[in-house]
Structure 1
Amino acid sequence: MLDHKIKYKKKIPHKLKRRINCLAALFELADQEFLNIRDETKDQEYTAKAKSSDFQDQTTAAQQQRAPLDAFSFLSLAQRKFPNYSFQGNKVNDFVDELLEIAPKVTPVEIEEALSNSAESLKRYK
């Protein structure tokens, strides 16, 4: 599209055509990568939801305690605890990064316990 609009009914020097074609290829590659990232993100969100729903049933307590916290596992947990709240992905990621700076080994199980233990305080917070 880009190269068609620039070249349309114009005599363009070979050097510029080459640069236009390079840019068109880069845009196509970037577009494909963004689609791949989107699809992989959806897959990881689905996996995190599936893991959290089966987590309590299929894993031992020791495995649950060792599972690492990431944005996907936190979001899955938070959406279960607060189904009416719309979480923003970038804020969830920043929040989890901050949590991991404070407590690098915190697990989803520990976060779930903390949310359960302070549910009343969280409901009052606006």
Structure 2
Amino acid sequence: MKNTNKKTLVIGASTKPERYSNKAIRMLREYDHEVVALAKRTGHVDGVSIQTGFPKENDIHTVTMYLGAKRQPEYYEQIIKLKPKRVIFNPGAENDEFIEKLESAGIETVENCTLVMLRTQQF
């Protein structure tokens, strides 16, 4: 079954190939998903520009978090306003406080690894 394109915002993107956020950007592209990347530093990964300002897109399907809980609060309101279908909390990014806020806003939350989800067709 061919996945339909789920435009995905990667928060905590890295230009370092060994970082999971970098692997996620490359694998999302491999699976034909459109990728928007956000981090504190600009750069490029597999043709995707990393933005430092919160993206203006309004058609984001999935947000995948690669930031620890302590660094997430500055994005709470912006992500909720974005109204994505779901937010994936990758290992190390779990955040009960934010999960509660997202779920009360009607946004699905998933605690899983984006890479595993893509490989096992759960994305």
Give the TM-score, by structure 1 length: 0.23
Between Structure 1 and Structure 2, which shows a larger proportion of helix residues? 1
Whose Rg is larger? 1
Between Structure 1 and Structure 2, which shows a larger proportion of strand residues? 2
